[in-house]
Chain A
Amino acid sequence: MSLKETIRQPMPCQDPQVRRTNFDEVALGYSEEQAVKEAARCIQCKKPRCREGCPVEVLIPDFIKAVAARDFAGAAVKLKEKNALPAICGRVCPQESQCEEKCILGIKSEPVAIGRLERFVADWEMAQGASATEPAPAKGAKVAVIGAGPAGLTCAAELAKLGYAVTVFEALHTAGGVLMYGIPEFRLPKAIVDKEIANLRQLGVDLQFNVVIGSSVTVEELMNERGYAAVFLGTGAGLPNFMGIPGENLCGVFSANEFLTRTNLMKGFRFPEYGTPVKLGRKVAVLGAGNVAMDAARTAVRLGAEEVTIVYRRSDKEMPARAEEIEHAREEGVQFQLLTNPVEIIGDENGWVKAMKCLRYELGEPDASGRRKPVAIANSEFVMDTDTVIIAIGTGPNPLATKSTAGLELNRRGNIVADEAGRTSIPGVFAGGDIVTGAATVILAMGAGKKAAQAIDAYITTKAAEAAN
């Protein structure tokens, strides 16, 4: 079949005018026909470059081949061989900068829609009520996983499959981490996260909520008193960054974490039935252009804000969010004020935000990140009317677990120093995800959790062998 003959199957979506008033999932997923058609576009490269682009090396051509042959169950088996949470990854991975970027079809035409196919297979399997993999024979060793986000959940699943008794300790009242508090329902339905957690329980993983490592229990106690042979720290990104400009503590200035947690985790959009309120003015400015910024902006639209604007100091080419999220945001009416950065947030007499003083920028030479550096234009100051500011410019590491663990090496920023396999400066203590890398993606955290599980297995096995000699 010639490459020109088929075009990439479009993703069916809720109409933008309808979806901007609800929290239901935006992307509706491929039909079986669409999935088979799209899978047929894959030319089954001998050296599949797509796999190199995937942090967990999903057997991409294999599962796609099975889809093309209408063997969806077989596709699911292939997919789950490398990825514990495909329904989630298919929805939130930045495929265009990972697997799909490497797809050979992308050179002359459009790459195979790998992410959409992954989602299709995972959803198909879930709809069949498929059961989780049976755990291996018990190894007789306990492992503690700290944090029930993408890194911790993946690590726990891998370890359980290997036969370890795994306990996950989570500080919040529910599992999922950023999948629950951060990513909105319209992008990742919480029912899907719940199903993945149920699978984990089926594997025998014990989940304990309301446990803050570093204050309720320490890593040292887990290893020395509670008999855990190893500990995995996947505590994630913590403290939200602020810009350090005047006016940031005014009423009406929120971190994206606060705004999204109120809405997603605490279901503030159903206040007062749910007890946690979420507050929004009429003109909302969201600072930043990553996935979290898009999530915040689109949530603001759904909560009824009249005008929502993304304010970003670089140009549209540098926006770090997934292409699909940016496109969806535009369709839903989110405005983009690019090459702009605030220098001050201005308040009224009651301490509420009323405007933002901004500078216009242009792009200069590439900086250390390889992106062209934004440079402020002289005398370009202007005032933007806004009554709500949501700051989505990243997060720093949470200090609770790391500060309380003596001997744990941290870098200058406070992230845990860990090697490729997740080994930290303390034998038996492993780490992965945002607490090591700084704020990154769900899939990278999952990849780290998986690698650490293998390293934990090797560590415990070696130690047991040494003890036997």
Chain B
Amino acid sequence: MYPIVRKEILSASVKLFDLKAPLVAAKAKAGQFFILRADEKGERIPLTIADFDREQGTITAIFQEIGAGTRLLGRLEAGDAVLDVVGPLGVPSEIERFDGPVAVVGGGVGIAPIYPIARALKEAGNRVIAIIGARNKELLFWEEKMAAVSDALIVCTDDGSYGRKGFVTDALKDLYEANKDLQRVWAIGPMPMMRAIANTTRPMGVPTIVSMNPLMLDGTGMCGACRVLVGGETKFACVDGPEFDGHLVDFDLALKRLAIYRDEEKRALAALEHHREGGRCGCH
């Protein structure tokens, strides 16, 4: 069992766990992910490693309650434990010292995985400009943590309830106008946001790394559920990624593949809601 040593509610639907997982904490690097399974009947849920503490042997996971699996997960409290944690998985971010500023962009829960990348870039001696954004103020988190690992931080909300009003893409365009020597962009968030960022930086010619979060089962290259088309080549996000050249990723396909089990997810969610109301769903 892997105990939840701390839980933080970041917003109504976004939760944070610090999980005791010494093997993962010892090896975790920016850009990697892990897989957890809450209990015997649970899904294997891939989550990006948002932070790690090698001494305490803990890793930090931030997740949004979207489907039945993440909702059930969100009900766990500090002191509870999850059944399985495996990792670190995936190829770490390529961190190097660049000859000019770099930008990291985190959208929604994507702020979590962008944080260790920003920190690693900063530690490598880069000038790091961070952009974080969410639909509204309530969904924003880690502003201070991001500020601590970047030279400049731009915060935006779609509805203008906090920071600059507008999308992260608009902020990135302005950033580029002021920093034409921008060397590289990392963008993590919902797939449509990553696609928008890639489309924004393509004409600028700024290399852009995105972190793909497709459906996944084992996370070790065995099932092929996570395949992503990159520059016309099929890649497995779990062992070849999760980071890829954003300008080469086929996002249309990725978005369609993400929706393969949409009907089933709705069914599971409905069954879960029904249970909560004390109804019978006939599912067991």
Binding site for B on A (CB under 8 A): 171-173, 181, 209-212, 215-217, 238-240, 242, 248-249, 251-252, 254-255, 257-258, 261-262, 266-267, 270-277, 279, 350-351, 398-400
A-side contacts of B37, CB under 8 Å:
173
B-side contacts of A279, CB under 8 Å:
260-261, 264
A276 to B1, CA, bound (A): 20
The 8 closest A-B pairs by CB, nearest first: A277-B264, A351-B256, A210-B86, A275-B43, A258-B223, A255-B224, A272-B268, A273-B284
Q: Are B220 and A266 in contact (CB under 8 A)?
A: no
The answer to whether residues A239 and B265 also contact, given A215-B87, A249-B234, A261-B223 and a CB cut-off of 8 A, is no
In the assembled complex, how far is the CB of residue A7 from the closest CB belonging to chain B, in whole angstroms? Answer: 43
Q: Are B264 and A271 in contact (CB under 8 A)?
A: yes
B-side contacts of A217, CB under 8 Å:
23
Chain B interface size band reads 35 or more
A160 to B24, CA, bound (A): 28
Binding site for A on B (CB under 8 A): 23-24, 27, 37, 41-44, 68-69, 72, 83-89, 217-218, 220-225, 227, 229, 234, 236, 239, 252-253, 256-257, 259-261, 264-265, 267-268, 271-272, 283-284
Q: Are A266 and B43 in contact (CB under 8 A)?
A: yes
B-side contacts of A276, CB under 8 Å:
43-44, 217
Q: Are A240 and B268 in contact (CB under 8 A)?
A: no
Chain B binding site: helix, strand, loop or mixed by DSSP?
A: mixed
Beyond known contacts A209-B84, A210-B86, A276-B44: 10 more, CB 8 A cutoff: A215-B27, A240-B223, A251-B260, A254-B225, A255-B223, A261-B218, A266-B44, A275-B268, A276-B217, A279-B260
Q: List 29 A-B contacts (CB under 8 A).
A: A171-B86, A210-B85, A211-B86, A212-B220, A215-B27, A215-B88, A215-B89, A239-B224, A240-B223, A242-B234, A249-B234, A249-B253, A249-B257, A251-B257, A252-B260, A254-B224, A257-B222, A257-B223, A258-B225, A262-B217, A272-B268, A272-B272, A274-B41, A275-B69, A277-B264, A277-B265, A398-B221, A398-B222, A399-B221
Q: Are B239 and A399 in contact (CB under 8 A)?
A: yes
B-side contacts of A251, CB under 8 Å:
256-257, 259-260
For A258, the closest partner residue in chain B by CB is: B223
Partner of A400, one of B68, B220, B265: B220
Q: Are A275 and B84 in contact (CB under 8 A)?
A: no
In the assembled complex, how far is the CB of residue A214 from the closest CB belonging to chain B, in whole angstroms? Answer: 9
In the assembled complex, how far is the CB of residue A464 from the closest CB belonging to chain B, in whole angstroms? Answer: 30
Q: Are A261 and B257 in contact (CB under 8 A)?
A: no
In the assembled complex, how far is the CB of residue B169 from the closest CB belonging to chain A, in whole angstroms? Answer: 25
Q: Are B234 and A239 in contact (CB under 8 A)?
A: no
In the assembled complex, how far is the CB of residue B24 from the closest CB belonging to chain A, in whole angstroms? Answer: 7
Residue among B72, B86, B284 with the highest chain A CB neighbour number at 10 A: B86
B-side contacts of A261, CB under 8 Å:
217-218, 222-223
In the assembled complex, how far is the CB of residue A17 from the closest CB belonging to chain B, in whole angstroms? Answer: 25
A-side contacts of B218, CB under 8 Å:
171-172, 181, 261
Residue among B24, B220, B225, B283 with the highest chain A CB neighbour number at 10 A: B220
For A178, the closest partner residue in chain B by CB is: B222
Residue among A172, A181, A261 with the highest chain B CB neighbour number at 10 A: A172
In the assembled complex, how far is the CB of residue B21 from the closest CB belonging to chain A, in whole angstroms? Answer: 9
Q: Are B23 and A216 in contact (CB under 8 A)?
A: yes
In the assembled complex, how far is the CB of residue A136 from the closest CB belonging to chain B, in whole angstroms? Answer: 31
Q: Are B84 and A173 in contact (CB under 8 A)?
A: yes
Q: Are B222 and A239 in contact (CB under 8 A)?
A: yes
B-side contacts of A172, CB under 8 Å:
86, 218
B-side contacts of A173, CB under 8 Å:
37, 44, 83-84, 86
For B236, the closest partner residue in chain A by CB is: A239
The answer to whether residues A272 and B239 also contact, given A216-B23, A239-B222, A266-B217 and a CB cut-off of 8 A, is no
A-side contacts of B227, CB under 8 Å:
249
In the assembled complex, how far is the CB of residue A246 from the closest CB belonging to chain B, in whole angstroms? Answer: 11
Partner of B89, one of A212, A272, A275: A212
In the assembled complex, how far is the CB of residue B216 from the closest CB belonging to chain A, in whole angstroms? Answer: 10
In the assembled complex, how far is the CB of residue B201 from the closest CB belonging to chain A, in whole angstroms? Answer: 25
